[in-house]
Amino acid sequence: DADVTQTPRNRITKTGKRIMLECSQTKGHDRMYWYRQDPGLGLRLIYYSFDVKDINKGEISDGYSVSRQAQAKFSLSLESAIPNQTALYFCATSDSADAPDNEQFFGPGTRLTVL
Amino acid sequence: DAKTTQPPSMDCAEGRAANLPCNHSTISGNEYVYWYRQIHSQGPQYIIHGLKNNETNEMASLIITEDRKSSTLILPHATLRDTAVYYCIVRRWANNLFFGTGTRLTVIP
């Protein structure tokens, strides 16, 4: 079984709808991240959480919110989806240590289309 | 965080070494160089990282110049499965990584 899972894997929704993307991990990591990737571009950080009580904005948090329900779960919500939020969304996790060899492990991605 | 510059694309013949360059002329003394790759639209995968010494693992080698202003990722014997986008990232720690546009490596049969 995958260590980092994302649901749904694909989603098509309409402008103005609320949508939630979910991420679960079995790696026992404290830190979790949400990124988005637009075609031909690199990943950009939306939000990150270093533990259950910690939420931090990333580079592009406007229009998004997150919830860290447990150590293993980190959800990303679009309160009112708009077409320019159409993208590939990735969840990632890492260990709690501030160490250079603390690599991030990524989920398979969620492809979101907003019509 | 130091910015990085990578060529947008490169080709490499299967079985040959792939050498992917990265410039990071504004790197600070305590910043590491990380490499990740992304195969098709999968989640990025960690490859290797280094501070100032050359590093090698089962996937690749990382050569960092003495002034640390540039580095090269080496895949010693490229296979078709190495076709991917390779990201060079400079960061103090591995958290909050900034992914630029990377280098799209195509391994040619």
A103 touches chain B (CB under 8 A): yes
If you average pLDDT over every residue of chain A, what do you get?
A: 93
The reply to whether residue A109 touches residue B41, judged by beta carbons under 8 angstroms, is yes
Q: What are phi and psi of A84, to 5 degrees?
A: -75, 5
User: What CA–CA distances, in Å, run from B39 to A39, B80, B87?
Assistant: 14, 11, 11
Q: How confident is the model at residue A3, as a pLDDT?
A: 93
d(CA B14, CA B11): 10
A58 touches chain B (CB under 8 A): yes
How do residues A35-58 score in pLDDT, each as one tens digit?
999 988 889 999 999 999 899 999
**Could you tell me the pLDDT band of residue B1, with boundaries at 50, 70 and 90?**
low
| Residue contacts between A and B (CB atoms, under 8 Å) | 63
Residue of A nearest to B89 (CA): A42
Q: Which of A31, A42, A101 sits opposite B99 (nearest CB)?
A: A42
Taking alpha carbons only, the member of B65, B67, B61 closest to residue B17 is B61
Average pLDDT (B27-40) is: 92
d(CA B87, CA B33): 10
How do residues B39-58 score in pLDDT, each as one tens digit?
988 999 999 999 998 999 99
Q: How far is CA A50 from the centre of its chain?
A: 13
Residue of B nearest to A40 (CA): B101
Q: Percentage of chain A surpassing pLDDT 70?
A: 99
Q: Percentage of chain B surpassing pLDDT 90?
A: 80
User: What CA–CA distances, in Å, run from A21 to A12, A79, B66?
Assistant: 12, 11, 44
The reply to whether residue B43 touches residue A45, judged by beta carbons under 8 angstroms, is no
d(CA A63, CA A112): 14
Q: How confident is the model at residue A95, as a pLDDT?
A: 87
